[in-house]
Structure 1
Amino acid sequence: MNVNTSLFIHNGRIKTMKGQEFIGSILVEGTRIKAMGEELVAPEGAKVIEAEGKLVLPGFIDAHCHVGLGEEIYQHEGDDLNEMTEPVTPELRAIDGINPEDEGFRDARLGGVTTVFSTPGSGNVIGGTGVVLKTAGKVVDKMVLREPAGLKVAFGENPKAVYGAEQKKMPMTRMATASLLRQALVDAETYLEKLEQGIEDPEKFPERDLGMESMIRVIKREIPLRAHAHRADDIMTAIRIAQEFNVDLIIEHCTEGHKIADVLAEYGYPAVVGPVLVNRAKVELKDKSFETPGILTRAGVKVAIITDHSVTPIEQLPLCAALVARAGMDEEEALKAITINPAEILGVDDRVGSLEVGKDADIVLWSEHPFVLKARPETVIINGQVITD
């Protein structure tokens, strides 16, 4: 990683992902974009990166993956996705399990992916909190953009398989999964009431409960529920519970979202859709389709396209978007689904997702449009630093 205080990206085709596209230059100072324009002149001493004939884009964002938590070359040693000993574990934090030396971070950069949301897996009804982080760095704490950034919950086959089928305990049914989540939300409401009472009367202050602290962040709408739901009925259960408790919700996977796209649009919850480049590994995926993101977008749902790495290798995020565009999604919308849309869904669009003055200098120079099969990122810049993997 080469550290530069000032970079000048000269004469590239700049696509801001905010509706502007022009031939021009970008000045980076420190970690941020200082200036952009068609007539910009490189300041003395700046490192100049010649971008003529290159497409200049913001770094891509994977809004749902497990980079750092599920290390590919390890089995038990590097598998920190699911604490499958209790179905309700809101006290877990993905940041405590992420290894910055996971090969997935390097692979992400090779695919132009500069920001990710890394989350616990879907084995538990409540799996813990996820984190938004950059894909370059030696220490995870220095890579964080937002933490916590959402509480992972899961519906459908996975919790049933782990607990009902394997451990012969609740949840054995979809009803039990919903019940456990509801009860945790009710407990959080009670815990919050006791905290408020404790302010007035210290004797009523409850014992500290790390799980409830995570849950009340959801109740107070500081972070959303990130609901793993493939089937249409599971998606609607997630929405039913979010409506019941007036909490924010992001629908994860949304595999059968195309079946109820108009209904989802009415509620206004965003969907992070995928993995699309995968086989039908379980029953819930029987109706998976590359057309789903486009159908949802046309219905008015805000969509991000995801890899669910390592289900689909994270460096193939642009290929996933290209295949979705080939299946009918507007090309510009498909590009938004791996840049500005996930930034907005993750609540970090003040920092990443588009090329704008004041935002983080996460910039990628492409040989061609990234949806072209032979395209590759020629220069990757994260926080104003040129990455040399």
Structure 2
Amino acid sequence: MRKVLFGACALAALAIGVSAQAETVAVTNARILTAGPAGEIASGAVVFKDGKITAVGANVAAPAGARVIDAHGGVVAPGFFATGSLLGAVEVGSLGNDLSVNNPAIGASFDIQYGLNPESGLLPVARLGGLTSAVVLPLPVGGRGGEDYDQEDDDASKYTAGPGGEGSKSHALFAGTGAVIDLSGHETILTKAKVAMVVPFGRAGAGVAGGARGAEIVALKEALADVRAYMKNKAAYERAGYRDLALSRGDLEALVPVVEGRMPIVAVVRRASDIRQVLAFAREEHVKVILEGAEEGWMVAGEIAKAGAPVLLNPLNDRPESYEELAATMDNAGRLAAAGVTVALESTGGSARVRETRYGAGNAVSHGMSYAAALASVTINPARIFGVADRTGSLEPGKDADLVIWTGDPFEPLSQPTAVFIHGEAQPMTSRQIELRDRYRDLGRPLPPGYTHP
């Protein structure tokens, strides 16, 4: 009987479709995980209209004329974030991606927003895992911790960063800027562009700088000094009356917000000693920093918290796959959160398995992270870190109606979403994979012509 009720709930949600933008919708009889100041509401309702939440609470009644969806005691939660994902910029990794570049004139100025594909077949798959937003970040030399590419430092040997001149590739110090997107599949999925500048540190950064970690710090300081010089002498630079700078004009312009403290860098770093160097570098250069990977972050949790640096991490990374990760542990997320660090959990299976983000959150809870912290790590925390918390990440009046109705606890693998809303619009509860399964489930049906004619 319960399955029938939830099936009806899903059908009702689909019937709303685009019309949800123009009518009032009330999801009632739900356990609500707001990820906001209201915390958890044991039984209540969420009301939204024109794509925005208008009311959330235990004593909220469906307005007159509203379309009512009875959750039948299920859970309503904010849509989850796929943080550090490849969504919208890759289909099959072995066939290439739109998240990396090797061009001497384009490093920091690389902007992934221009290559986003709203028709990607991976977006519907991610939505079926309760995801409604994604933070898409460029791939630096050496790869990142939250994705499924192996770009170890054979690639780094192609690059050298120096003071300028023939052969200098200082652009490789910077992978470019990321963006926040929604997973609606609309023609425009961009929520916010230029949210952070990705920079590889540790072994990968050392490879870019010529082989030594210390060389990268020097090269980065030189690059930022060039940016400051460029800012003060733009007129002379434009008339070719200024000294040579290692970076292209596009890269210099792209780094101005970093130097001014308006754009953070995402420092891809793993080892505890490297984390300390990154924090010191950020402090000395007066730049904002977000740590990504940070497999040994728990060892310096107090220092990270004191610096106010958020951390993006894969909660399942616990194997010492390199000398940078000897102390990796699945307790990492819980220990960092307990120390007061703002943690955002990355997708645990790369672009094709980003729907498993909720499983990673559940594993983090089983290894010491509080449930509230785990919920925040896939909702409001990434929204805050990347500057979209005024729009999404929690269920609060005035925010976008990005929410999911679940059959039970969303971190429990047996729970399933029965309806997904993005900007108040019900999303199709299917994907190409499901449609192919259904098409070929009955082999007695006539096959397409390609299967029967040579």
With the length of structure 2 as denominator, give the TM-score of the two structures.
Answer: 0.76
1:347 maps to what in 2?
Answer: 387
**Could you list the per-position Cα deviations for residues 62-120 of structure 1 after superposition, in whole angstroms to 9, with x for gaps in the alignment?**
3322212232x3523x4222214559710100112222233332222111111111010
Shift of 1:212: 1.3
1:302 maps to what in 2?
Answer: 342
Is the Cα–Cα contact under 8 Å of residues 59 and 114 in structure 1 kept in the other structure?
yes
Is the Cα–Cα contact under 8 Å of residues 294 and 330 in structure 1 kept in the other structure?
yes
Is the Cα–Cα contact under 8 Å of residues 318 and 328 in structure 2 kept in the other structure?
no
**Could you list the per-position Cα deviations for residues 368-389 of structure 1 after superposition, in whole angstroms to 9, with x for gaps in the alignment?**
1112221121111000001113
**1:75 partner SS:** helix
Is the Cα–Cα contact under 8 Å of residues 278 and 312 in structure 1 kept in the other structure?
no
Tell me if 1:186 matches 2:186. no
Is the Cα–Cα contact under 8 Å of residues 88 and 126 in structure 1 kept in the other structure?
no
Instruction: Indicate how the Cα distance of structure 1 residues 278 and 138 shifts in structure 2: closer, same or farther if over 3 A, else same.
Output: farther
Which residue among 89, 94, 102 is the counterpart of 1:75? 94
RMSD (Å) for aligned C-alpha atoms: 2.6
* Rounded Cα–Cα distance in structure 1 between residues aligned with 2:125 and 2:241: 47
Tell me if 1:276 matches 2:316. yes
2:203 maps to what in 1?
Answer: 157
Q: Which one-letter code corresponds to 2:70 in the other structure?
A: E
Shift of 1:134: 0.7
Is the Cα–Cα contact under 8 Å of residues 317 and 328 in structure 2 kept in the other structure?
no
1:47-58 equivalences under 5 Å are 47-58=67-78
* Rounded Cα–Cα distance in structure 1 between residues aligned with 2:101 and 2:362: 35
Q: Which one-letter code corresponds to 1:264 in the other structure?
A: I
* Rounded Cα–Cα distance in structure 1 between residues aligned with 2:415 and 2:105: 43
2:53 maps to what in 1?
Answer: 33
Which residue among 118, 128, 149 is the counterpart of 2:136? 118
* Rounded Cα–Cα distance in structure 1 between residues aligned with 2:238 and 2:266: 34
Tell me if 1:147 matches 2:193. yes
Q: Which one-letter code corresponds to 1:116 in the other structure?
A: A
**1:313 partner SS:** helix
Tell me if 1:129 matches 2:148. no
Is the Cα–Cα contact under 8 Å of residues 69 and 120 in structure 1 kept in the other structure?
no
2:404 maps to what in 1?
Answer: 364
Instruction: Indicate how the Cα distance of structure 1 residues 57 and 146 shifts in structure 2: closer, same or farther if over 3 A, else same.
Output: same
1:166 maps to what in 2?
Answer: none
Instruction: Indicate how the Cα distance of structure 1 residues 336 and 287 shifts in structure 2: closer, same or farther if over 3 A, else same.
Output: same
1:90 maps to what in 2?
Answer: 108
1:259-338 equivalences under 5 Å are 259-274=299-314, 276=316, 281-307=321-347, 310=350, 313-338=353-378
Is the Cα–Cα contact under 8 Å of residues 16 and 354 in structure 1 kept in the other structure?
yes
* Rounded Cα–Cα distance in structure 2 between residues aligned with 1:358 and 1:205: 51
* Rounded Cα–Cα distance in structure 2 between residues aligned with 1:185 and 1:318: 38
**Could you list the per-position Cα deviations for residues 129-174 of structure 1 after superposition, in whole angstroms to 9, with x for gaps in the alignment?**
00011111233xx22222110001011233455x5xxxxxx43222
With the length of structure 1 as denominator, give the TM-score of the two structures.
Answer: 0.88
* Identity over aligned pairs, percent: 30
In our comparison, the structure showing a higher alpha carbon Rg is 2
Q: Which one-letter code corresponds to 1:50 in the other structure?
A: D
* Rounded Cα–Cα distance in structure 2 between residues aligned with 1:107 and 1:277: 23
Moved more, 100-109 or 329-338: 100-109
Instruction: Indicate how the Cα distance of structure 1 residues 96 and 282 shifts in structure 2: closer, same or farther if over 3 A, else same.
Output: farther
**Could you list the per-position Cα deviations for residues 14-62 of structure 1 after superposition, in whole angstroms to 9, with x for gaps in the alignment?**
1211243222212111111022233433345433211121111111113
Instruction: Indicate how the Cα distance of structure 1 residues 171 and 15 shifts in structure 2: closer, same or farther if over 3 A, else same.
Output: same
**Could you list the per-position Cα deviations for residues 248-299 of structure 1 after superposition, in whole angstroms to 9, with x for gaps in the alignment?**
1111111110111112122111111125258655443343221001111111
2:254 maps to what in 1?
Answer: 214
Is the Cα–Cα contact under 8 Å of residues 70 and 310 in structure 1 kept in the other structure?
no
Shift of 1:202: 9.4
2:151 maps to what in 1?
Answer: none
Moved more, 285-294 or 213-222: 285-294
Is the Cα–Cα contact under 8 Å of residues 79 and 132 in structure 2 kept in the other structure?
yes
Is the Cα–Cα contact under 8 Å of residues 275 and 312 in structure 1 kept in the other structure?
no
Give unmatched runs, 5+ long, in structure 1. 164-169
**Could you list the per-position Cα deviations for residues 327-377 of structure 1 after superposition, in whole angstroms to 9, with x for gaps in the alignment?**
111121111111111111111111111100000100111111112221121
1:167 maps to what in 2?
Answer: none
* Rounded Cα–Cα distance in structure 2 between residues aligned with 1:180 and 1:205: 24
Is the Cα–Cα contact under 8 Å of residues 315 and 364 in structure 2 kept in the other structure?
no
* Rounded Cα–Cα distance in structure 1 between residues aligned with 2:101 and 2:229: 25
Is the Cα–Cα contact under 8 Å of residues 295 and 317 in structure 2 kept in the other structure?
no
**2:94 partner SS:** coil
* Rounded Cα–Cα distance in structure 1 between residues aligned with 2:425 and 2:37: 26
* Rounded Cα–Cα distance in structure 1 between residues aligned with 2:211 and 2:128: 41
Instruction: Indicate how the Cα distance of structure 1 residues 250 and 267 shifts in structure 2: closer, same or farther if over 3 A, else same.
Output: same
**2:358 partner SS:** helix
* Rounded Cα–Cα distance in structure 2 between residues aligned with 1:331 and 1:42: 29
Instruction: Indicate how the Cα distance of structure 1 residues 350 and 205 shifts in structure 2: closer, same or farther if over 3 A, else same.
Output: farther
Shift of 1:185: 1.1
**2:398 partner SS:** coil
Instruction: Indicate how the Cα distance of structure 1 residues 120 and 385 shifts in structure 2: closer, same or farther if over 3 A, else same.
Output: same
Q: Which one-letter code corresponds to 1:9 in the other structure?
A: V
Q: Which one-letter code corresponds to 1:30 in the other structure?
A: D
